[in-house]
């Protein structure tokens, strides 16, 4: 029953994340992180659907990092990534034009995205991304994972901004600021302790 409950909550959080990306952010080519930046760049250059790039990239990184993450953590993360990718796949064809102007969509999308990621963090889960690659590099080369992640995300975001539109860099930074504030808010909220919280936070 614990696994079912955890799967349900993580699934809802992943759907919220995917909804924010596909409905509000991706129509303006606003990435939410390193992996999303790659999907935006590949979509712009080759027309590859966002969800396919996100899933393939995350799945490949997860399988490469399974010895450091552990099988259970890798499988749960792959589950979240898959639900997010499927959500994006289902919603993207329905969004033929941006919902509103870029500022409104940026704010609303970042808030909703932050809610989804915040729930994942409260459950001790991960949505994948370039943190996996940073982990691999830090383990192999002995580099600081934080600095490695910053270098990877910064390089990808800068490349995306140069190729697609320099304003993307600003929008991405604003999105990160808003969503991380929401994540911190949800992470600090005191909730009644449940069996899931007691037993599952150590899974990741």
For 8-39, the pLDDT digits (tens) are: 999 999 999 999 999 999 999 898 877 888 89
The answer to whether 10 and 3 are in contact (CB under 8 A) is no
Number of structural domains the chain divides into: 1
- The more confidently predicted of residues 177 and 137 is 177
Tell whether 134 is covered by a domain. yes
Owner of token pair 């760049």: 41
Residue 23: domain span: 2-190
The answer to whether position 197 is within a domain reads no
Q: What pLDDT is recorded for position 27?
A: 93
What is the structure's pLDDT at 90? 95
- Would you say residue 20 lies in a domain? yes
- Residue 176 counted as domain residue: yes
Backbone angles phi, psi at 8, to 5 degrees: -65, -45
For residues 136 and 113, what is the distance between their CA atoms, to the nearest angstrom? 26
- 165-181 mean pLDDT: 87
Q: What is the pLDDT of residue 19?
A: 96
Tell me the pLDDT band of 146, cut-offs 50, 70 and 90: low
* Domain assignment present for 202: no
**Which of 83, 128, 116, 131 is CA-nearest to residue 186?**
116
Report, as an integer, the average pLDDT of 78-86. Answer: 91
pLDDT higher than 60, residue 195 = no
| Within-domain flag for 199 | no
DSSP 93: G
């Amino acid at each position: 029953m614990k696994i079912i409950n955890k799967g349900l909550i993580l699934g809802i959080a992943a759907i919220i994340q995917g909804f924010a990306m596909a409905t509000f952010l991706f129509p303006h080519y606003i990435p939410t992180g390193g992996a999303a930046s790659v999907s935006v760049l590949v979509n712009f250059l080759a027309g590859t659907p966002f969800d396919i790039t996100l899933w393939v990239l995350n799945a490949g990184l997860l399988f490469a990092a399974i010895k450091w993450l552990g099988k259970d953590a890798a499988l749960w993360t792959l589950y979240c990534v898959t639900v997010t990718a499927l959500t994006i796949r289902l919603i993207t064809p329905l969004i033929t034009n941006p919902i509103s102007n870029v500022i409104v969509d940026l704010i609303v999308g970042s808030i909703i995205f932050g809610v989804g990621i915040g729930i994942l963090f409260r459950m001790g889960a991960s949505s994948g991304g370039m943190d996996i690659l940073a982990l691999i590099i830090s383990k192999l080369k002995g580099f600081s994972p934080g600095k490695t992640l910053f270098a990877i995300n910064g390089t990808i975001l800068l490349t995306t901004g140069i190729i697609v539109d320099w304003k993307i860099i600003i929008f991405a930074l604003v999105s990160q600021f808003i969503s991380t504030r929401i994540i911190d808010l949800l992470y600090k909220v005191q909730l009644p302790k449940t069996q899931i919280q007691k037993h599952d936070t150590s899974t990741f």
